[in-house]
Structures are given as structure tokens and as C-alpha cells.
Amino acid sequence: MTDSLGDGIAAVVMAAGMGTRLKSSRAKALLPLCGRPIGIYALESARNAGIERVVAVVGYQADEVERALGDEWEYVLQEPLLGTGHALMSCCPNLGSFEGDLLVSYADMPLIGADCLRELVTYHRAQRAAATVLSAIVGQPGRLGRIVRGPEGELAAIVEAGDATEEQLTLNEINTGTYVFRSPLIFNMLAKIRRDNAQAEYYLTDVIGALATTGEKVQALAAPRPESAMGINTRVELASAEAIMRQRVREQLMLSGVTLMDPVSAFIDAQVTIGADTVIYPQVVIEGRSAVGVDCVIGPCATIADSEIGDRARVCHSVLRGARVAADAQVGPFAHLGSREGEQARG
């Protein structure tokens, strides 16, 4: 974990939303990404950035979301769901008297890393800003809100695409929806915004505009990697995030001493551990909390889920679910092991 940013900072992660645009009956934070609930990544990034107090705002299917995300976090219930501004308002009983910096991010931004969040907080503090927005430079901004900067590079406005002029639509710097605010100023400003818009919701972006008009310093910092600030609103975006996340997992494993004979055909979940000198052949799937020992040979064509594979074991053309394979054992070809059969898989 990164060194702490101190007591003068807290984080709020918005995890109250429904999976409407994802065509799902489940809360968005519950959707699986690389074997874990999508909402866990933003929470862990905030903690790994050095923020000790992390608050998750839940709403739709709140009980299920809390169970899935675990008890490491402080929870706040948003009810009813009246927009991003209202989600942060819901934190007022918990954080309304908090004095310091308040990082706000979203559970549907799983690719944002701890380093990016830490850099945003550091920049915000160096600028002595009332609010700092994480932006991103993208090739096709589409319907995303544009960042409009002033003559000295300061943030002048966030303009939604539907309200933008033709000139503003040519801008390719967009709002990611991740912010750092000075608290308790942010809660004072939230009390002043209205929901007289088409969605009848309180928008957090309205606070940015209000701060700028009152003379408070508002800044924007572009993310070093635009894909890290990608939000997940459709199954297409979910698939793109899955591909990026799985590539990160594969790279981390290879850098730790694991050989992937055909990296693209290896589907390995984020919580899987694999020991050094293990060789993964093509068409291998390793899921859940599986642990593979050192100097193993896995595959080709193996599926391993929530299983433990001992050192120097070999698994070929087989399916293992909840199995435990002893060191030096050989499994397959064409074995299908569950928990009982797995205990008997010995060399």
C-alpha cells in the first residue's frame, strides 16, 4: 500500500446505481469484472492511494452490494436515487463536518489506478484549489461533457455535449466525473444546487460551475492514461474494460516469473495467484480464488476454478472446481475434479 496521504482526506465512491443501460437486473457495482464485483476496484484504488477513510454510497440492492464489497468500507445509503449531487449530499451526516480534502469517484470506473488518484490529490493540494477535476484527452468525446479552460489553463466550465457550442464540441478534453473537493465547502455548495433539469436530479457538475462563478479556484488535471478514466455504461464498455484488466493481470504474472505461452488465450481472474516458473499453455481459464504453486504446468485446455494446485503439479485438458491438487500430482487428460476428487489427486 502507498504511504498515507494523512488524516486530512477521505474518499467517497458512488456505488448506488442500477444497471439500466447495461440491461441488467443487478446493481451496477455487482457486475463481474475479471472475477470480482466491478465496484471493488475503485474502493481499493482509493485505499491504495493512501486514503484510510473510504465511504461507499449504496442505493439500489444496497444489502447485496454491501455483502459483495465487504466490511472494509464505511457505507452510506442514498434513498431515493436523485443524481450524483444527491449521492454526495447523502454523506453529509457522516462527512459534513469533515475538514480536509474529499476525493469523489465512481464504482463504474474500475480501471482508475491508485497512482492516478494520488497524483490528482497532490495536484489539488499544490494548487490550493477548492475543487479539482480529473479530465481525460480522448479521440472521440461523443456525448461526454467537455472541459473548457480559461486563458491561464484554469477550469472555466464543464459543458455537457447537448449544451455545447460548435466550437466547444471540437474540444477533446472531457470530464471523467472524478473530483477532489475542499470540505466542508463542498457540502455548503451542495445545499445551494437545484434539480430543475430534465432528469429532476442534483448534478455534481453544477457545484463546479457554482464554485467557479463565486471566485473559488477550480482546476482540472488530465489523466496520464485516458483508458484509466473510462466509465462502464454499456456491455460494450464492460468488455473493453475486461480486456484491459485481464491484460494487466497477465503482464503482472509474467513480470513475477510466470510463463504464458499464448497470453491472449489465457483468461486469469484478478485474485488468482501463480508461483514462479509455472508454465501456462494456451486455452487456459483460471478463476476465482485459485492458487497455483511454483514450477507447475497448466494446460493446454484446462479450466480451474477456486482450486489449489500444489508445487510442480501438471494439469492437462481437465476441469477442476473447488479441488485441491497435491504437489507433484498429474491430472488429466480429460479429468473433471470437484472437492472430493481433487483431494485424491496425488502424484
Burial of 97 (0-12, 13-18, 19+ CB in 10 A): exposed
Q: Decide if 276 contacts 253 (C-beta within 8 A).
A: no
Residues of each domain in the chain carrying CATH 3.90.550.10 = 9-229
pLDDT at 144: 83
Residue 185 is predicted with a pLDDT of 93
pTM of the model: 0.89
Q: What is the pLDDT of residue 340?
A: 55
Which pLDDT belongs to residue 84? 87
Tell me the pLDDT band of 2, cut-offs 50, 70 and 90: low
> Model confidence at 347, in pLDDT bands (50, 70, 90)?
very low
Instruction: Give the lowest-confidence range in 15-24, 121-130, 274-283, 311-320.
Output: 15-24
Q: pLDDT tens, 213-236?
A: 888 889 999 998 888 888 898 999
CA distances 288 to 138, 240, 285, 332, Å, are: 33, 20, 10, 21
The CATH superfamily holding the domain 9-229 is Spore Coat Polysaccharide Biosynthesis Protein SpsA; Chain A (3.90.550.10)
- Angle between helix 39-48 and 62-69 (nearest 10): 50
At the topology level of CATH, where does 256-343 sit? UDP N-Acetylglucosamine Acyltransferase; domain 1 (2.160.10)
**CATH 2.160.10.10 domain range(s) in the chain:** 256-343
Share of the chain above pLDDT 90, in %: 66
